[in-house]
Amino acid sequence: MSYANERRIAELAIQRACILAERVYNSQVKGTITKDDKSPVTIADFGAQALIISSITHAFPEDPIVGEEDSNDLRADKSKRDLVWGLVKDTLDATKDLTGELGDIKDDEEMLAVIDKGTHQGGSVGRIWALDPIDGTRGIPTGRAYAVCLGLMVDGKVQVGALGARTYLSILRSRREEGILLSAVRGGGCHHETIVHPICSRDPISMSSTTDFSKARFCEGVETAHSSHREQASIAKSLGITAPSIRMDSQAKYASISRGVGEIYLRLPVSMSYEEKIWDHAAGSLIVEEAGGVVTDIYGNELGFGQGRTLKTNKGVVAALRALHPTVLKPVQKELKVFKL
Ligand SMILES: Nc1ncnc2c1ncn2[C@@H]1O[C@H](COP(=O)(O)OS(=O)(=O)O)[C@@H](OP(=O)(O)O)[C@H]1O
Ligand SMILES: [Mg+2]
Ligand SMILES: [Mg+2]
Ligand SMILES: [Mg+2]
């Protein structure tokens, strides 16, 4: 199956949401709230989730969606809700030519209902979308990177992925780029576009072919609460990597290695009780695989997207060029004292 229509809708939906996200990124008003689990959410997260879910349900009304956010905080705070609706309305007005393909939202009540269509519990049967409206949320108030990420799983396997990322790092950026949009269909390779609307260019991308660890670079997250910098540094050292790590928020790390900026992405767990969320990996992992990489957990097992809202049986992430992956996994397992289950 080509999934051409799913890919196109995903790309357009990501573009529309990135327009909204950029408005927040460049504004003084981020409307940050701390969620019950102590993690941050901004008005961009709510607005992007509303726009993307509305796009999916317009094009594929039967498809369920696993989305990160819900509307509870907005229902409890009228000023935040007004801010988000203002943003969503302005973005819809600015992208009227997309309404035919992506649909519209008529008022704030409908917006809240649309956000809450992301509560599906996931699973291994049929088509299910996994949505991270803003990944790397901390990147928005801090002026770092963020990504807008969408994947389509079919019977528990990701088949389509699209990811829009702010490429604030000059190393990630090519000529005149403000942002990048990557998309992939399983078995169909991976494409890169510059985020301009409408889509005007499409270039295939692939990972770096460097297999010499002394020339390799690895990507890791910024937050020490999300992955173990100490263990990642130790693994890099035992592999003979000498370059400093490339640190950035969000699935921009997957985007980075899939475009040849870095060969390895390490996300080693800080706590063995944390379950990674499917929306934090669905799009990025497929894009890396289609660009020539392998993505597993620290046990060397593939990521299991069909088990609900989290990757229940996996711990951490090790992503690398196909030829490097087995060699990278060895010191990971030695350092963490784990063996393939
Ligand atoms: N303890 C723990 N361990 C691992 N991952 C966690 C943890 N807590 C949160 N999260 C998720 O991390 C997502 C952001 O990942 P990043 O790669 O951007 O983190 S980093 O800041 O760059 O380190 C972030 O996604 P967003 O909430 O979409 O930003 C969270 O889903
Ligand atoms: Mg979050
Ligand atoms: Mg996320
Ligand atoms: Mg998020």
In a domain, 31, yes or no: yes
Shared domain for 196 and 239, answered yes or no, is: no
Q: Do 154 and 51 lie in a common domain?
A: yes
| CATH code of the domain containing 32 | 3.30.540.10
* Same-domain check for residues 29 and 150: yes
In a domain, 79, yes or no: yes
In-domain check, residue 9: yes
* Total domains in the fold of the chain: 2
Residue 108 marked as a ligand binder: no
- Residue 291: closest CA among 186, 193, 207: 207
**What is the 146 CA–ligand 1 centroid distance (Å)?**
11
Domain's final residue, options 204, 236, 261 = 204
Judging by beta carbons within 10 Å of its beta carbon (0-12, 13-18, 19+), is residue 132 exposed, middle or buried?
A: buried
Q: Do 222 and 199 have their domain in common? A: no
**d(CA 268, ligand 1 centre) in Å:** 12
- Structural domain span for residue 306: 213-336
Cα–Cα distance between 56 and 286 in angstroms, integer?
Answer: 19
Residue 341 lies in a domain: no
In a domain? residue 189: yes
Is position 36 annotated in a ligand binding site?
no
Structure confidence by residue, pLDDT tens digits, 177-232: 567 899 999 999 887 776 655 555 678 889 999 999 999 999 999 999 999 999 99
Give me the numbers of helices (H) and strands (E) for the chain, helices first please.
Answer: 11, 14
What ipTM, to 2 d.p.? 0.97
* This prediction's pTM: 0.95
Query: Is 68 annotated among the ligand-binding residues?
Result: yes
Structural domain ending residue among the three candidates 185, 204, 223: 204
**105 or 339: which leads in pLDDT:** 105
Same-domain status, 104 and 128: yes
Final residue belonging to a domain, choices 160, 180, 204: 204
Q: Which residues of 95-104 are buried (b: 16+ CB within 10 A; e: fewer)?
A: beebeeebbe
Query: Is 130 a domain residue?
Result: yes
Reported as a single tens digit per residue, the pLDDT across 272-295 is: 999 999 999 999 999 999 999 999
CATH number of the domain within which 258 lies: 3.40.190.80
Mean pLDDT over each residue of the chain, to the nearest integer:
92
For ligand 1, residues with CB inside 6 Å are 39, 68, 132, 134-138, 221-223, 225-227, 249-250, 270, 274, 277, 280
